[in-house]
Amino acid sequence: MLKGCEIYHNKQTPVRTIVLWRWKEVDKQHSLLKASKDVQSRVQSGHLAVGYSKRRLVFSLFFQLCFHCCISLFYTLMEVSCLELALEGERLCKVGDYRAGVSFFEAAIQVGTEDLQVLSAIYSQLGNAYFHLHDYAKALEFHRHDLTLTRTIGDLLGEAKASGNLGNTLKVLGRFDEAVVCCQRHLDIARDINDKVGQARALYNFGNVYHAKGKSICWSGAEPGDFPEEVMTALRKAAEYYEANLVIVKELGDRAAQGRTYGNLGNTHYLLGNFRKAVASHEQRLLIAKEFGDRSAERRAYCNLGNAYIFLGEFEIAAEHYKRTLQLARQLKDRAVEAQACYSLGNTYTLLQDYERAIDYHLKHLIIAQDLNDRIGEGRACWSLGNAHTALGNHDQAMHFAEKHLEICRETGDRSGELTARMNVSDLQMVLGLSYSTNNSTLSENKDIDYNVHGARPRMSRRHSMENLELMKLTPDKMNWNSDILTKQSKPSLAKSSSKLFFVSRLRGKKYKAGGSSKVLQDTSNTLDTSRTQPPDGQR
């Protein structure tokens, strides 16, 4: 048969493909054709003595044979071409070139195939590729084609995988009830055919759907563990499915799967307010991440542990975990995560009343936010710096940062932040005995205050989003603690129970109207949500 098929991709015309065939051996049709030609030659030369009618019959049979051989050969070439195009598409997707992969898959469909198993696999891969390209409507379309086809040909395993892929896509689209139906079908089939791996995947997908459902409706300003009952019910179901998944993946000895599930289970317990259980799960996640040398997962585990310890009031331990987060972010050269780790450390040292260290970390956050053109990050850094300087009695510098915060809030359209900034500036004006207007975005009396000595610098640039990172953030839109401490001559004494109020959005994932997000840093390698997602389950 045909072997050694080489496919070349012309980068100038991405959809165009050049297929070169090299013959390694002669196929059966070719051998038959050669034999028929030999018969014809012998008849014509007289070596095969037959009558006229028989000779005509031989010629007729010969031409019919030629015709059928050509048709058969055409379909053979078509099959190999379609398959090879699909294989090249799969290869490109595996290396992350999903656009080119889609081109090859679509070219394979254009060539066509009579093998419905091959077509099912192409539909599945196309759905996965579009999922990674965030074209969820297209992903849904092809996963539905795959589901229809697998049911038509009675492929139960394929139907289970297609159902899982559909469930993942519907989850991302927020269609949770439909996603649950697909996950249930996936689980039912896996149980019917005694597919343990499939059962584990279905249970994991179930957990993800309920976790996403709970998170989608819990941004009401409530603290973890204090969400509406609908949210808590969804999160409890998520935890149950993750626990069931863990039982199976432990039986299978799949440590990688255990790590992913522990990460998601920890995040779920965190939202439920079960902070000790969250710590236990994230410690397991950390252990497995170290086993695999997965520094990104290790960094996320340290961050999530820090988040949980903040709510447990164990700020020193939280600070140590955030330091490891910062160290790993620097090793991974992830400047955005580095900035948010600095911010989390600044907030933690504020809770510890170590304002000098808090200022140091907030300045580092400010510098990186400026480098990343993140105006919202700059604003929050300025707000935090103003608070820390106020606590130290450095009212001039506090005023400078309060004015910078006000300026940035105006620029970004953050009305809530602007209100907070105005209140802070007003309080500081009373302390300093000033009466000038805050209409100007800079403070004329403090123009000589220069924080370039710390490396930070005034900048006017658009935001390069860093706020989608899910690290702990001390946000200015819900509290104004300057007024509480301005009247005190010494450092405030903050009880642990009340000091947690600093972290308004901390770790719970409140969405900001300004366009940022401060969700808990999820174990994003575990989920199929927005950023850094894995292939949909059941990729074939």
Helix (H, G, I), strand (E, B) or coil at 217: coil
Q: Report the candidate in 471, 474, 477 with the shortest Cα–Cα distance to residue 421.
A: 477
Buried b (16+ CB within 10 A) or exposed e, 254-265: beebbbbbbbbb
pLDDT score for 67: 52
Query: Tell me, what DSSP letter sits at residue 464?
Result: -
Please report how many Cα atoms fall inside a 13 Å half-sphere around the Cα of residue 161, on the Cβ side: 22
22: tokens are 């090299």
| Separation CA 102–CA 507 (nearest Å) | 37
Residue appearing with tokens 């100038």: 12
pLDDT score for 317: 98
- Give residues with Cβ within 8 angstroms of 88, minimum separation 6: 7, 9, 17, 104
- Chain-centroid distance, C-alpha 59: 66
Rg (CA), the chain: 32
pLDDT score for 55: 54
Q: Give pTM, 2 decimals.
A: 0.70
| Separation CA 283–CA 300 (nearest Å) | 11
Which residues on neighbouring strands pair with residue 9, listed in sequence order? 17
Q: Supply the DSSP string of 10-68, one letter for each residue.
A: -TTSTT-EEEEEE--S--HHHHHHHHHHHHHHHHHHTSS---HHHHHHHHHHHHHHHHH
pLDDT score for 24: 34
| Separation CA 65–CA 427 (nearest Å) | 98
User: Which domains does the chain possess?
Assistant: 3-114 (no CATH), 155-293 (1.25.40.10), 295-524 (1.25.40.10)
Q: Per residue in 443-484, pLDDT tens?
A: 434 434 444 444 454 443 333 333 333 444 444 433 434 434
Q: What values do phi and psi take at 6, rounded to 5?
A: -115, 135
Q: What's the average pLDDT block by block, 10 residues per block, for the chain (540 residues)?
A: 33 32 37 52 52 54 55 48 90 95 93 92 96 97 97 96 97 97 98 97 98 84 86 97 98 98 98 97 98 97 97 97 98 96 97 97 97 94 95 93 94 91 90 58 41 45 35 41 40 37 36 34 34 39
pLDDT score for 54: 52
Query: Tell me, what DSSP letter sits at residue 525?
Result: T
Q: Could you tell me if 116 and 152 are in contact, meaning their C-beta atoms sit under 8 angstroms apart?
A: yes
Q: Could you tell me if 336 and 531 are in contact, meaning their C-beta atoms sit under 8 angstroms apart?
A: no
pLDDT score for 498: 35
CA dihedral defined by 207, 467, 294, 342, rounded to 10 degrees? -130
